[in-house]
Amino acid sequence: MAVVPYKDQNENKKSQVATMFNNIAGKYDFLNHFLSAGIDIVWRKKAVSLLAPEKPKQVLDIATGTADFAIETLRLNPDKITGVDISEGMLAVGREKLVKKGLTNKIELQYGDSENLPFEDNTFDAITVAFGVRNFENLEKGLSEMHRVLKPGGMAVVLEFSKPRSFPMKQLYQFYFKNILPMVGKLVSKDNAAYTYLPESVQAFPDGQDFINIYQKVGFKGTKWHSLTFGISSIYTGKK
Ligand SMILES: C[S@@+](CC[C@H](N)C(=O)[O-])C[C@H]1O[C@@H](n2cnc3c(N)ncnc32)[C@H](O)[C@@H]1O
């Protein structure tokens, strides 16, 4: 059974996830940085630095949300970054941010589903996804679509929450993620489910070697797993 945000509703995971992000879009950036004490910013920087040696020119940022990862990737000076997402609410916040920062010539945001990407085969030099793959309805389909639109030799970088496994971080993390985070998230976002779904979806997600196995199954080569901050997050890189 897929973990979904609104358990009392019948819609599939994809439409529930889109609704949830539409609901919290206005508070998403604040809550992200507040609830992670800003560590999410450091994680995105680390992920982008792993991509730096590739010097990508055409980049696709999947599940781009409010475009934070796309904006961070500008550091690599690509010609263009395309960001896709299934939440129009998140894209609207992202577009506003790009206008304010004067970045609309470099980053273009559009509606797009990771499981059915609206691009030709072999289009991008690099693909990035931050905190997106856990939300896919069909993880394997999403990852094989990424592989399809990546150019041969191109690199995919996936940043996602994972589960810390050693004492005392495992216990501290579980207490924070299951008690504090849902309470603060609900209070600020006014969405009852979003920040309960977050720890539940992390718990159910195949992290570490399990993720690498799926990554390889869909065709990625030279895969690497980098564990960040006691295993709270991980970066997975792979090439086509
Ligand atoms: C936690 S946010 C991450 C946003 C951004 N990448 C960041 O680092 O802040 C997850 C995003 O994934 C998007 N998403 C979920 N499933 C998706 C899918 N199948 N295709 C495209 N985007 C998807 C959601 O709409 C949401 O904006």
Per-residue pLDDT tens for 161-194? 999 988 998 999 889 888 998 898 898 889 888 8
pLDDT of 15-72, one tens digit each?
999 999 999 999 999 998 888 889 999 999 999 999 999 999 999 999 999 999 999 9
Q: Distance between CA 177 and CA 175 in Å, rounded? A: 6
Assess if residue 130 is contained within a domain.
Answer: yes
Query: Which residue segment(s) compose the domain that 228 sits in?
Result: 13-239
Cα of 14 to ligand 1 centre, how many Å? Answer: 10
Is the CB–ligand 1 distance for residue 115 below 6 Å? yes
Assess if residue 190 is contained within a domain.
Answer: yes
According to the model, what pLDDT value does residue 176 have?
Answer: 87
Q: What ligand 1 atom has the least distance to the C-alpha of 40?
A: 8
Cα of 240 to ligand 1 centre, how many Å? Answer: 23
109 against 166, higher pLDDT:
109
Alpha helices in 74-180 (DSSP H): 88-101, 139-149, 169-175
Question: Is residue 114 pLDDT above 90, yes or no?
Answer: yes
Q: What per-residue string of b and e applies to 25-56 under the rule 16 or more CB within 10 Å gives b?
A: bebbbebbeebbeeebeebbebbbebbeebeb
Which of 21, 43, 44, 160 best tests ligand 1's pocket when mutated (most atoms within 8 Å of CB)? 21
CATH code of 34's domain: 3.40.50.150
Q: Is 85 annotated as a binding residue?
A: yes
Q: Is 114 annotated as a binding residue?
A: yes
Cα of 157 to ligand 1 centre, how many Å? Answer: 14
Assess if residue 7 is contained within a domain.
Answer: no
Question: Which pLDDT band holds residue 211 (cuts at 50, 70, 90)?
Answer: very high
Assess if residue 220 is contained within a domain.
Answer: yes
Cα of 67 to ligand 1 centre, how many Å? Answer: 10
Question: Which pLDDT band holds residue 82 (cuts at 50, 70, 90)?
Answer: very high
Cα of 228 to ligand 1 centre, how many Å? Answer: 20
> Cβ of 122: how many Cβ atoms within 10 Å?
13
Domain count for the chain, please give it.
1
**Extended strands (E) in the chain:** 58-62, 80-85, 107-111, 124-130, 150-161, 221-228, 233-239
Q: What ligand 1 atom has the least distance to the C-alpha of 44?
A: 8
- Name the 3-class secondary structure at 112: coil
- What tokens does 58 get? 């055409």
Assess if residue 6 is contained within a domain.
Answer: no
Assess if residue 211 is contained within a domain.
Answer: yes
For the chain, give the percent of residues with pLDDT over 90.
Answer: 83
* Overall average pLDDT of the 187-203 stretch: 90
* Overall average pLDDT of the 106-112 stretch: 98
Assess if residue 5 is contained within a domain.
Answer: no
Assess if residue 8 is contained within a domain.
Answer: no
